Amino acid sequence: MSFFKKLKDRLTTSTQEVTSKFTEGLTKTRDGLANAVNDLVYRFREVDEDFFEELEEVLIQADVGVTTTMDLVEKLKVEVKRKNVKDTKEVRDVLVEVVANMLVEEEESELDLSHELNVILFVGVNGVGKTTTIGKLANRLKNEGKTVMLAAGDTFRAGAIDQLQVWGERSGVPVIRQGEGSDPAAVIYDAVQAAKARRVDVLICDTAGRLQNKVNLMNELEKVKRVIEREIPGAPHEVLLALDATTGQNAMVQAKAFKQATDVSGIVLTKLDGTAKGGIVLAIKNELDLPVKFVGLGEKIDDLQPFDAEQFVYGLFGDVFEEKETVEEVREED
């Protein structure tokens, strides 16, 4: 049995709803990447250098990134040689296995919620869906039985405080806020005190996504972080960077800048359902050495999903490879 079939059997017999979310959410990427790989497989009869060169182009177009593409193809070549693969059709299954292994290695996708008061600091530029994601995460944690509080620390963007308030009401969690233009660190301080007093399990802090320049933004984030650390030693326990998947390699540039300035512990990749370039997940995992903690797979409040490497790989190649395998099996039987 192929690796892909084993993967499918394992996933579809576990959580069907989650599998469907990944499959549906990665439709655009799958239609581009998996179909392109299939076309390549059927155009080449031999697994040679020309085949691998064209595969590199396919992966780069899916925003896997040049560096990660080269790493992936090198690993693929090693596996193809080790398994003595001659038929290009068999390369598909080896590719799925290599991608899965790259994503699963040292995976740390679960949130650290082991403290009496867990503080999650959200960072990211404006427009990536940060505030919306905070609301969805608050709803998810509350449904898991945790008490949650939100801190409206993005006091510079017009409407950001009201937007978070709406999400708080929708999720049924309190929001600590001050007026627009207030000192973000003061808002976070108030929120920490309120969270302690009410003994909530999780405090999620929104932050500014743009100031006069990048230096000012990073300084403001550092100030907020110092306030949290002073009040709760060891916090924040998670610093999550929200990135917009639709921006592709630009998201990588943002990630590198934030990683240099703050202790980012994980990535939340938003709007993954809205792009054909979901290969950015591979680039993030491989080049930044940061775990992807959550992915946004739709606009509904429950469409924020914990990242699962196997679910992602199945969603990435899904029914496209499955249909081809079925057709080939029928032909073999005839």
Tell whether 170 is in a known binding site. no
Q: Are strands 292-296 and 238-244 parallel, antiparallel or unpaired?
A: unpaired
Tell whether 207 is in a known binding site. yes
Tell whether 242 is in a known binding site. no
Structure tokens at 92: 């598909």
Tell whether 145 is in a known binding site. no
Q: 28: exposed, middle or buried (C-beta count within 10 Å: 0-12, 13-18, 19+)?
A: middle
Tell whether 126 is in a known binding site. yes
Asked if residue 242 lies in contact with residue 133, where contact means CB atoms within 8 angstroms, the answer is yes
Tell whether 315 is in a known binding site. no
Bridge-partner residues for 294, per DSSP? 268, 306
Tell whether 208 is in a known binding site. yes
What's the CA gap between 100 and 97, in Å, rounded? Answer: 5
What's the CA gap between 142 and 136, in Å, rounded? Answer: 10
Tell whether 12 is in a known binding site. no
Tell whether 273 is in a known binding site. yes
Tell whether 128 is in a known binding site. yes
Q: Are strands 202-205 and 238-244 parallel, antiparallel or unpaired?
A: unpaired
* Residue 280: other Cβ atoms inside 10 A: 30
Bridge-partner residues for 241, per DSSP? 123, 267
Tell whether 131 is in a known binding site. yes
Peptide bond into 233 cis (omega under 30): no
**Residues flagged as binding site for GTP:** 124-131, 206-210, 270-273
Binding site members: 124-131, 206-210, 270-273
